[in-house]
Amino acid sequence: AVILGIESSCDETAAALIATDRRVLAHRLAGQEAEHRPYGGVVPEIAARAHVEAVTPLVEAALADAGIGLGDVDAIAATAGPGLIGGVMVGLVTAKALALAAGKPLVAVNHLEGHALSPRLADPALAYPYLLLLVSGGHCQLLLVGGVGRYRRLATTIDDAAGEAFDKTAKLLGLGFPGGPAVEKAAALGDPKAVPLPRPLVGRAEPHFSFAGLKSAVLRARDAGTYSAQDIAASFQAAVIDCLIDRTKRAIAGAPGATALVVAGGVAANGAIRGALQTLAHARDLPFVAPPLWLCTDNAAMIGWAGAERFMAGLTDPLDVAARARWPLDPDAEAARGAGV
């Protein structure tokens, strides 16, 4: 079967065609960095309007790339949340209209499930249950992924997400937008031991994450005026890595049945973080799976793939399914499907 996937939850509009045998027939993406850069962050109204302009041409381009028509598609999957509600609605309404017009089933995909299952698109050998570190712009969680719609959340952040910490650090250091790749680039030129920064919650029994204190420490280091931006970036990245690794170690100990250690989400594109997790997995005799970089940051292939897994499990949604600004990925979230705003 072939699934059309549509993503529009933040500042990437994307369309992809994914076969249930894992072939990526087409994937198209339009970023909005230029529109948001003057504001130093994503402006929801600007994002929603940009999605409106981009989504239909992207779907048409993806179909043309794959050399198929809408009639050849077996189901239409779109992100239904969580995210900026205006953008989510644009993609979901587009998917509903296409589903209605072509008489195809609709699959409403949780964006986080898109990230969570994306490693399975890249690696056919990756079997459930796996231990997932989901690190993105809005989330930082450890999940035991047991299958489609089956998530046990082991840890979450008590304040900022990992990607948010990268973005705020980039802004504080004047490294530009989007922040994650800019911090990674600057960090490569700095000394990770130059600036003493805290490791919030490291060593604690409770499994959670915290990054707000780290951001404040970066601000103090900047205002001290004695460190280069490169040294602060490198020290910040090293602190984030120490936090992620310490918390993940704890989760590995608490999830003995996991088949692999897996990382996903935009922050998973960070080479130093991937390297540290790989070393940890190796030390624990666990396979390590990280999607290719293009599949880490937001894209429609992961939405198409999550849609494919749902479609294969017989899970489709009614055309009146709701877009949701908030939609956590845990057992209760499945029960609440479609009950959002």
Judged by the rule CB under 6 A, the positions of this chain that interact with ligand ATP are 10, 83, 111, 115, 136-139, 163, 166-167, 178-181, 184, 265-267, 269-270, 297-298
Tell me which of Fe ion, ligand ATP, Mg ion, none is bound by residue 87, counting a contact when its beta carbon lies within the kind-specific cut-off of 5 to 8 angstroms: none
Tell me which of Mg ion, Fe ion, ligand ATP, none is bound by residue 86, counting a contact when its beta carbon lies within the kind-specific cut-off of 5 to 8 angstroms: none
Give me the least distance between CB of 30 and Mg ion, in Å please: 11
Closest to 267 (Cα-Cα) out of 338, 151, 180: 180
Give me the least distance between CB of 139 and ligand ATP, in Å please: 4
Give me the least distance between CB of 269 and ligand ATP, in Å please: 4
Span interacting with Fe ion, options 89-97, 171-179, 248-256, 296-304, rule CB under 5 A: 296-304
Span interacting with Fe ion, options 71-79, 270-278, 286-294, 298-306, rule CB under 5 A: 298-306
Q: Which residue is nearest to ligand ATP (CB)?
A: 266
Q: Is 225 left (phi over 0), alpha (psi -120 to 50) or beta?
A: left
Tell me which of Mg ion, Fe ion, ligand ATP, none is bound by residue 167, counting a contact when its beta carbon lies within the kind-specific cut-off of 5 to 8 angstroms: ligand ATP
What CA dihedral angle connects 213, 219, 225 and 228, to 10 degrees?
A: 90
| 311 contacts 75 by C-beta, under 8 angstroms | yes
Residue 64, number of CB atoms within 10 A of its CB: 12
Span interacting with Mg ion, options 11-19, 48-56, 280-288, 301-309, rule CB under 5 A: 11-19
Q: Which residue is nearest to Mg ion (CB)?
A: 11
Q: What share of the chain is helix, strand, coil (3-state, %, to 5)?
A: 45, 20, 35
Beta strands in 111-205 (DSSP E): 130-135, 140-147, 150-156
- Give, in order, the Cα–Cα distances in Å from 162 to each of 11, 133, 140, 258, 273: 18, 11, 6, 23, 11
Nearest-angstrom CA–CA distance, 271 and 298: 17
| Residue 11 touching Mg ion (CB under 5 A) | yes
- Give, in order, the Cα–Cα distances in Å from 128 to each of 18, 120, 124, 143, 146: 21, 10, 11, 12, 5
Give me the least distance between CB of 33 and Mg ion, in Å please: 8
Tell me which of Fe ion, ligand ATP, Mg ion, none is bound by residue 83, counting a contact when its beta carbon lies within the kind-specific cut-off of 5 to 8 angstroms: ligand ATP
Nearest-angstrom CA–CA distance, 341 and 80: 11
Give me the least distance between CB of 317 and Mg ion, in Å please: 25
Identity of the residue, 105 or 114, whose beta carbon is nearer to ligand ATP in the bound complex:
114
| Residue 7 touching Mg ion (CB under 5 A) | no
| Residue 79 touching Fe ion (CB under 5 A) | no
| Residue 160 touching Fe ion (CB under 5 A) | no
Nearest-angstrom CA–CA distance, 129 and 154: 13
* Residue 144 bridge partners (DSSP): 131, 152
| Residue 298 touching Fe ion (CB under 5 A) | yes
- Helix ranges (H only) for 148-296 are 162-172, 179-187, 212-224, 229-254, 271-283, 293-296
Site residues (CB under 5 A) for Fe ion, limited to 82-141: 136
Tell me which of Mg ion, ligand ATP, Fe ion, none is bound by residue 207, counting a contact when its beta carbon lies within the kind-specific cut-off of 5 to 8 angstroms: none
Give me the least distance between CB of 141 and Mg ion, in Å please: 18
Return the amino acid letter for 106.
L
Residue 172, number of CB atoms within 10 A of its CB: 19
Residues that bind Mg ion (CB under 5 A): 10-12
Write out the residues near Fe ion by the rule CB under 5 A.
136, 298
